[in-house]
Structure 1
Amino acid sequence: MDLPLPLIEEVLAGLPLRSLLAVAAASKGLRSLVASPSFATLHSRFAFAASPWFFFFGFNLLLPHRSQAFAFDPVSFSWLRLPLSPFPPHNSSSLSSSHSSLYALSGPMQTHLCIAPSPMKQNWQIIEAPMRIARRNPLVGIFYHDPCKLDVASIVVAGGVDHDDKDEEDELAVEEYNAEKGEWERGEAMPEALRGKSVVAAMAGGRWYVGDRGGGVVCCRGEGGTWVEGKVEKGREVREWEWVGSEVAGLLAVAACEGGRVKVYRMEEEGGRMREVAEMPADMRQLFQEEGEEGEAQVVRVRCCAGGGNLLYVYSDSPFKEYAACACEMAIDGGTSRWYRLPPMPAPLHRFDRVSCLSASVPLPSCINS
Structure 2
Amino acid sequence: MSDRNPESSNLNALNRDVTESILSLLPIPSLVRFSTVSKHWRSIITSLPPSPSPSPWLFLFGIHNTSSFHNQSFGFDPLSHSWLRLPFPSLPSLHLVGSDRFLFSTAPRFSFSPILNPHWRPTSPLRFPRINPLLGVFPASSKLILVGGVASIGGLVNIDDRSPVQIYDSALDSWELCPPLPEAFRSNAHETLSSALCKRSFYVFDVTSCFISSFSLDTYTWSDVQTLRPPGLLFAFLNSCNDALVLGGMCYSDRGFSFNLWRVDQGSMEFSEIAIMPDALLFGLLVDSEDEDDAHRFTTLKCVGSGNLVYVFNQDAHKKYPACVCDIGVENGKCTWRSLPNLPSPLNKFHKLVTFCSTLSITDVFHSDEAHIGFAGLVW
* Fold in common (TM above 0.5): yes
Give the aligned partner of residue 212 of structure 1: 206
Q: How does 1:110-149 map to 2 (within 5 A)?
A: 112-116=109-113, 118-127=114-123, 129-145=124-140
Structure 2 portions without partners, runs of 5+:
1-7, 369-380
Q: Give 1:77 shift.
A: 1.3
What do the CA deviations read for 1:235-274 (whole angstroms, capped 9, x no partner)? 341122111222x052121122224321111102342101
Q: How does 1:160-179 map to 2 (within 5 A)?
A: 160-162=149-151, 170-179=161-170
Give the aligned partner of residue 149 of structure 1: none
Give the aligned partner of residue 303 of structure 1: 302
Change (3 A) 1:227 1:333: farther
Give the aligned partner of residue 200 of structure 1: 194
What secondary structure, in the 3-state scheme, does the structure 2 residue paired with 1:19 have?
Answer: helix
CA distance in 1, matches of 2:159, 2:67: 35
What secondary structure, in the 3-state scheme, does the structure 2 residue paired with 1:106 have?
Answer: coil
- Please say if 1:27 is aligned against 2:16: no
Q: Give 1:328 shift.
A: 0.9
What's the C-alpha RMSD, in Å, of the aligned pairs?
2.9
Is residue 156–residue 177 contact of structure 1 (8 Å, CA) maintained in 2? Answer: yes
Give the aligned partner of residue 277 of structure 2: 280
CA distance in 1, matches of 2:171, 2:367: 25
Change (3 A) 1:105 1:364: same
Q: Give 1:26 shift.
A: 2.2
CA distance in 2, matches of 1:183, 1:95: 21
What do the CA deviations read for 1:316-348 (whole angstroms, capped 9, x no partner)? 111426100100112467754221110111111
What secondary structure, in the 3-state scheme, does the structure 2 residue paired with 1:245 have?
Answer: strand
Is residue 211–residue 226 contact of structure 2 (8 Å, CA) maintained in 1? Answer: yes
CA distance in 1, matches of 2:324, 2:274: 16
Is residue 194–residue 205 contact of structure 2 (8 Å, CA) maintained in 1? Answer: yes
Give the aligned partner of residue 376 of structure 2: none
Q: 1:190 aligns with which of 181, 197, 222?
A: 181
Is residue 254–residue 264 contact of structure 1 (8 Å, CA) maintained in 2? Answer: yes
CA distance in 2, matches of 1:130, 1:5: 48
- Please say if 1:157 is aligned against 2:146: yes
Amino acid at match of 1:286: F
CA distance in 2, matches of 1:292, 1:202: 36
Question: TM-score normalised to the size of structure 2?
Answer: 0.81
Give the aligned partner of residue 261 of structure 1: 258
What do the CA deviations read for 1:59-99 (whole angstroms, capped 9, x no partner)? 22322122222211111111222112322x22x1x223345
Give the aligned partner of residue 289 of structure 1: 286
Structure 1 portions without partners, runs of 5+:
147-152
- Please say if 1:271 is aligned against 2:268: yes
What do the CA deviations read for 1:208-257 (whole angstroms, capped 9, x no partner)? 211111223211111132122352441341122111222x0521211222
Give the aligned partner of residue 359 of structure 1: 357
Question: TM-score normalised to the size of structure 1?
Answer: 0.83
